[in-house]
Amino acid sequence: MHVSADAFCWSMVRSLVGALLAVGEHRRDARWCAALLNAPRRSSDFAAAPARGLTLVGVDYPPDGELVARNLVTRDLRTPEEIG
């Protein structure tokens, strides 16, 4: 699995892999996995994949002149109430 994003939440990649494994192993339906993407909160209906075997290949940052603007956009996506 290759995951690319402009920001990540805590254990996000492990959760993505865990959810996809549940579908791939026929423990969950693909529609269940798709519904997780629109859920307002993280689900505990499956286990996150273990960190063993996952490898960070690289980190891509925007050009220096765009870092502050990108940070503001990323932080503006969720409010503390949504996170809590």
Report d(CA 68, CA 72) in Å as an integer.
6
What residues contact 76, with CB distance under 8 A and at least 6 apart? none
Give residue 3's pLDDT: 85
In the predicted structure, residue 83 carries a pLDDT above the cut 70:
no
Give residue 18's pLDDT: 92
What is the tens place of the pLDDT at every residue in 8-48?
A: 778 888 999 999 999 999 999 999 988 988 888 888 888 88
pTM score, whole prediction: 0.66
User: Per-residue pLDDT averaged across 68-77, rounded?
Assistant: 76
Give residue 22's pLDDT: 92
